[in-house]
Structure 1
Amino acid sequence: MKMADYKPRHFNWRVEGTVAVMSLDRPERKNPMTFESYAEMRDTFRQLSYADDIKAVVIASNGGNFCSGGDVHDIIGPLLDKDMKGLLEFTRMTGDLVKAMNAAPQPIISAVDGVCVGAGAMIALFSDMRIGTPAAKTAFLFTRVGLAGCDMGACAMLPRVIGQGRAAELLYTGRVMSADEAERWGFFNRLTDGAQLEAEALKLAQQLVAGPTFAHMMTKTMLAQEWSMSLPMAIESEAQAQAICMQTRDFRRAYDAFVAKGKPVFAGD
């Protein structure tokens, strides 16, 4: 499946080489999520599992903000009128978005500026890497609207990224995590100036796609799977994954380049 000409209706999309760059498209409202954008983003990441022309994804900010979470008028208001079946359909759909991100073979980099809260914070959390700006303000604010902090996999994923105690504080209080805290705690891989944010994320993505992309896919797969494995199972799974990678042409290219005292040019096969 080719996605260079993909035209989503509910968010911005462009492709630079083999890097897809997407962003939410309501900057005047700080880019809130709607029912439609949830569903379309979920379906897009599912399609990316079969896209051979996209090797990495950047989720960018827009208008100085990343995402303000679920739209109060377009989502939260209508949820008050839904029955349990309708509510569960919605909460499962939001979970399906981050599951699709986790399952997509491409590394995903979130470039976070300004507001990054609620569902936006979850999209950033389920990215493989995050670059922020000093103005980034991240909050898992579910308890502040009377909901549990366990939304969209937050209680599973956030402790893995920043630790159990820190995650518990953020999920109980819903308070803002500053950019400095986020970098210090490991949520952000690094901070950069807002004017350079998207360029820095693209640079990182392009570094990844110039590498052994099949091996990157295997790395992402093992990072996701090994949380539920015992240590002996994980070691055996990595032995199998590495044996698979040793059959790739990229492994041969790396060896040939080393022998020739050159730099390998990887092709992802």
Structure 2
Amino acid sequence: MREMANYKATYFKWHVEGGIAIISLDRPERKNPLTFESYAELRDCFRDLTYADDIKAVIFGSNGGNFCSGGDVHDIIGPLLKMDMKRLLDFTRMTGDLVKAIMHCGKPVIAAVDGVCVGAGAIIAMASDLRLAAPEARTAFLFTRVGLAGCDMGACAILPRIIGQGRAAELLYTGRSMAAEEGERWGFYNRIVPAAELDAEAIKLAKRLAGGPTFGHMMTKTMLNQEWSMSIDQAIEAEAQAQAICMQTKDFQRAFDAFVAHEKPVFGGD
């Protein structure tokens, strides 16, 4: 296992408060685009989070009033036009690996979205477990607007499971912007929060999760992801096994002891 409270990021902002890792991209003057370097570092960071016992929850936040404007036009899209198929596939696999790393990091990930959230930024929000939005948030899976397919970084698999096939098809075909209220109504956003309160609400939610049975949260996240490809019978059996494992944790005993004592349980994550 490793500790990440003192992790030093190069291409994005990172700090830890009480076991909660807070990440945001750090190019606010350009609405926080991604680069080859930030893609790779984020992928590696989320992979490392799998083994970080000192991190209980993650917030991927906004910076300067915007979440992420997608891949940088000059730093990414321009160079892509000069690459051969092998290098292009290396890149698209790397971007997909970021989504897999977010989904498999074992920690609840909260996206706190303000302003622009488009392209790969919308994908990062999509890959998160919970999503809060400021009223000004504008989310677009705009890949078709730059001549590409809507099937980017798992969008055609994940987005329909969040908002439904027809709604996902509309967003992925047209690349149009989804307003915050529409996103909440469709189930993409869990809640709309005033922009001035967005960070505080994300931290409040993360603290609630971090104070819970974090081993149980890891198992919940794992099952939410794995059961997409299971039959109902397989899912019920997988959950039976997962819950039996959780029943062997000290947190299960702590919850029982607290109930008997008429106290609030204090979980330890083991």
TM bucket by the smaller chain? over 0.9
Counterpart amino acid of residue 61 in structure 2:
A
Structure 2 Cα separation of the partners of residues 34 and 263 of structure 1: 45
Structure 1 Cα separation of the partners of residues 114 and 162 of structure 2: 19
Aligned to 1:265: 266
Aligned to 1:221: 222
SS at match of 1:32: coil
In the TM superposition, residue 254 of structure 1 has moved relative to its aligned partner by 0.8
Aligned to 1:146: 147
In the TM superposition, residue 235 of structure 1 has moved relative to its aligned partner by 0.2
Matched, 1:22 2:18: no
1:183-214 Cα shifts (integer Å, max 9, x gaps)? 00000000000011011001000000101000
How do residues 146-225 of structure 1 correspond to structure 2 at under 5 angstroms? 146-225=147-226
Structure 1 Cα separation of the partners of residues 186 and 201 of structure 2: 20
Aligned residues: 269
Counterpart amino acid of residue 168 in structure 2:
A
Structure 2 Cα separation of the partners of residues 102 and 258 of structure 1: 33
How do residues 22-41 of structure 1 correspond to structure 2 at under 5 angstroms? 22-41=23-42
Counterpart amino acid of residue 72 in structure 2:
D
Aligned to 1:96: 97
Structure 2 Cα separation of the partners of residues 7 and 253 of structure 1: 35
State the identity as a percent: 74
Structure 1 Cα separation of the partners of residues 211 and 47 of structure 2: 23
1:234-256 Cα shifts (integer Å, max 9, x gaps)? 00000000000000111111111
SS at match of 2:83: coil
In the TM superposition, residue 258 of structure 1 has moved relative to its aligned partner by 1.0
TM-score by length of 2: 0.99
SS at match of 1:151: coil
Counterpart amino acid of residue 82 in structure 2:
D
In the TM superposition, residue 257 of structure 1 has moved relative to its aligned partner by 1.1
Large movers: runs of 4+ above 4 Å: none
Structure 1 Cα separation of the partners of residues 47 and 264 of structure 2: 34
Structure 2 Cα separation of the partners of residues 257 and 96 of structure 1: 41
Aligned to 1:66: 67
Structure 2: runs of 5 or more not aligned: none
Q: CA RMSD in A?
A: 0.4
Counterpart amino acid of residue 185 in structure 2:
R
In the TM superposition, residue 259 of structure 1 has moved relative to its aligned partner by 1.1
Aligned to 1:243: 244
SS at match of 2:178: strand
Structure 2 Cα separation of the partners of residues 90 and 198 of structure 1: 32
Structure 2 Cα separation of the partners of residues 35 and 109 of structure 1: 23
Structure 1 Cα separation of the partners of residues 214 and 239 of structure 2: 17
TM-score by length of 1: 0.99
1:94-139 Cα shifts (integer Å, max 9, x gaps)? 0000000011000000000000000000000000000001100000
Aligned to 1:107: 108
Aligned to 2:235: 234
Aligned to 2:51: 50
Counterpart amino acid of residue 24 in structure 2:
S
Structure 1 Cα separation of the partners of residues 84 and 266 of structure 2: 55
Structure 1: runs of 5 or more not aligned: none
In the TM superposition, residue 261 of structure 1 has moved relative to its aligned partner by 1.4
1:133-168 Cα shifts (integer Å, max 9, x gaps)? 110000000000000000000000000000000000
Counterpart amino acid of residue 87 in structure 1:
L
